[in-house]
């Protein structure tokens, strides 16, 4: 496939950050055996990767704004466009030397995500999409799964951290999904969960308490792969609400119904 100038800019920024993370990941594996542990080092690796992405994107599109995990919201001269960047999604995996993490960037235009890139350095997998142009994994066209029976399906999710108050609700959701699917996976990187739905590896995914940089790129990629994405009520408020459910048409519908049932209990 021939990449557009926009996609070239996004991929370039992600690859630069990934190069830095690869180097740091090697150091993390060594730090695992130290008494101090790798926590402080990983925090610096995260910030360093974000600075690399910010500088690269700013140079290419100097008027665009930013929404960043570390740097916060930075307004640009262009009020229509802003980048949502996550330099290290799957930080806990990274911290423990588990090679399942990624770099992601999504571009928002007037409230709509129009392009996304998610890169997994450990597996050298590049998921990309532009609105109206399809979704791709390493230049291969992506489609969501075709499964229509939830009992054959694998769903992905994220478990609320200790600081989140909705553990009882999540356990109800998990029990409901477990009873109607072939299995549930909790892999620890929201952006990659979305990418895996787009690739048909998972049939659906749900989570709440997310940030815009976690999901912006994935929203575009799933939709361009033929999937459905919404909040828990079926609305298009994911960036604001932080709740998200996605899948093919059938599994998205199943998940929405299960969530309604658990909220009513």
Q: List, as one string, the DSSP characters of 189-206.
A: -HHHHHHHHHTTSSSEEE
- In this prediction, residue 162 carries a pLDDT of 72
Domain boundary among 141, 158, 188: 141
Residue 161 has a pLDDT of 75
Which residues contact residue 82 at a Cβ distance below 8 angstroms, ignoring those fewer than 6 apart? 64, 65, 66, 67, 76, 107, 108
Are residues 137 and 27 both part of a single domain? yes
> 89-120: per-residue pLDDT in tens?
998 898 888 999 999 999 999 999 999 999 99
Which pTM does this prediction carry? Answer: 0.93
pLDDT of residue 265: 45
- From the list 36, 98, 76, 67, the residue with the least C-alpha distance to 215 is 67
Q: Are residues 137 and 154 in the same domain?
A: no
Q: Got the DSSP string for 20-70?
A: HHHHHHHHHHHHTTSSS-SHHHHHHHHHHHHHHHHHHHHHHSTT-EEEETT
123 shares its domain with 218: no
Number of folded domains that form the chain? 2
Convert the pLDDT of each residue in 25-51 to its tens digit: 888 766 655 555 566 667 888 899 999
| Domain residue limits at 12 | 5-141
pLDDT tens digits, residue range 158-171? 998 776 677 888 99
Structure tokens at 123: 């597996």
Mean pLDDT lowest among 24-38, 69-83, 220-234: 24-38
- Around Cβ 48, how many Cβ atoms within 10 Å? 17
Rounded-to-integer distance, Cα 212 and Cα 48, Å: 20
Of residues 33 and 11, which shows the higher confidence score? Answer: 11
One domain for residues 62 and 84: yes
Same domain (yes/no): 203, 250:
yes
Q: CA 153, 158, 160: angle at the middle one, nearest 5?
A: 140
Q: Which residue has the tokens 């996976």?
A: 185
* One domain, residues 133 and 159: no
Domain identity same for 233 and 185:
yes
């Amino acid at each position: 496939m021939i990449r557009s100038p926009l996609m070239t800019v996004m991929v370039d920024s992600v690859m630069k950050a990934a190069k830095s993370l690869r180097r740091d990941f090697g150091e993390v594996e060594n730090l695992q055996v130290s008494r101090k542990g790798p926590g402080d080092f990983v925090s610096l690796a995260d910030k360093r990767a974000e600075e690399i992405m910010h500088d690269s994107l700013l140079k290419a599109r100097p008027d665009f704004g930013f929404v960043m995990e570390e740097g916060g919201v930075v307004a640009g001269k262009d009020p229509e466009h802003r980048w949502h960047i996550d330099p290290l999604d799957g930080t806990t995996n990274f911290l423990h030397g588990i090679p399942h993490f990624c770099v992601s960037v999504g571009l928002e235009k007037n409230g709509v995500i129009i392009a996304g890139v998610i890169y997994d350095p450990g597996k050298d997998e590049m998921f990309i999409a532009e609105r109206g142009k399809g979704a791709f994994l390493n230049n291969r066209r992506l489609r969501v799964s075709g499964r229509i029976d939830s009992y054959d399906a694998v769903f992905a999710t994220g478990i609320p951290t200790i600081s989140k108050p909705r553990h009882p609700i999540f356990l109800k959701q998990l029990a409901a999904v477990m009873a109607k699917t072939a299995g549930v996976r909790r892999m620890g990187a929201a952006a990659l969960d979305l990418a895996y739905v787009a690739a048909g590896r998972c049939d659906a995914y749900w989570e709440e308490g997310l940030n815009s940089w976690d999901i912006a790129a994935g929203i575009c990629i799933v939709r361009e792969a033929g999937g459905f994405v919404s909040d828990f009520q079926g609305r298009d408020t994911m960036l604001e609400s932080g709740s998200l459910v996605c899948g093919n048409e059938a599994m998205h519908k199943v998940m929405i119904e299960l969530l309604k049932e658990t909220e009513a209990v």
